[in-house]
């Protein structure tokens, strides 16, 4: 596993973004883990987060894109901090763009978009926190492609939960790739999280033997069938 991935896993845990226990998801499922990107709250955390996203985008999609689109609301700071990090790490100026929940009807920047105004020919990477069901892209994709004649290069999220998408045996990210014909990737997968944090018979490990058993049982029921 690449070093930036193991560092990112440790970073999520240290920021209390990735938590383990018993959580009721929006879908009603009882999950032994939960990720909340809203827990990144300090300047240094956001700066580091942007660099992890930038590294993952660079590895998965290269540099042939123009715009980072972060859907409201959590995608807004993600697109901003990642654009800053991309300039710092790779010397490439990329623009950020987000949508508003309500149309702004006044001022020089009125309309649905915040930041850069998408133009024909732009190549866009969509950036989000996490995708469990794939439902968010159903709202985001029409906004991006309806604003101009753009190409979506791919989508990047923090964590691939690797659960089955609704009415599918595939993960939400794989289902997005199949439906929209662009790659949907994550900085890390839950499989990689477990690989890094589980230390058999080590009582000080983040993922203990008992928690590993709970995660295994969860995926036996809800895991994507590859």
Given 88, 104, 110, 191, the catalytic residue: 104
Instruction: Name 224's Cβ contacts closer than 8 Å, sequence gap at least 6.
Output: 162, 163, 164, 165, 169, 170, 171, 174
- Establish whether 106 is a catalytic residue: yes
- Establish whether 88 is a catalytic residue: no
Given 101, 106, 181, 226, the catalytic residue: 106
Residues identified as active-site: 104, 106
């Amino acid at each position: 596993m690449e070093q930036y991935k193991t560092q990112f896993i440790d970073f999520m845990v240290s920021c209390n973004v990735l938590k383990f226990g018993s959580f009721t998801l929006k879908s009603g499922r009882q999950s032994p883990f939960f990720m909340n990107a809203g827990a990144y709250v300090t300047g240094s955390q956001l700066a580091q987060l942007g660099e992890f996203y930038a590294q993952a985008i660079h590895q998965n999609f290269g540099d042939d894109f123009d715009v980072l689109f972060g859907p409201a609301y959590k995608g807004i700071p993600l697109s901003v901090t990642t654009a800053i990090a991309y300039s710092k790490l790779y010397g490439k100026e990329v623009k950020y763009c987000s949508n508003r929940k309500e149309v702004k009807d006044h001022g020089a920047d009125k309309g649905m978009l915040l930041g850069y105004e998408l133009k024909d020919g732009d190549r866009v990477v969509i950036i989000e926190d996490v995708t469990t069901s794939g439902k968010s892209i159903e709202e985001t994709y029409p906004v991006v492609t309806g604003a101009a004649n753009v190409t979506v290069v791919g989508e990047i999220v923090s964590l691939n939960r690797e659960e089955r998408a609704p009415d599918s045996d595939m993960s939400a990210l794989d289902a997005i790739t199949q439906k929209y014909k662009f790659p949907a990737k994550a900085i890390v997968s839950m499989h990689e999280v477990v690989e890094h944090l589980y230390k058999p018979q080590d009582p000080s490990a983040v993922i203990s033997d008992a928690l590993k058993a709970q995660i295994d049982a969860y995926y036996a029921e809800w895991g994507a069938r590859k």
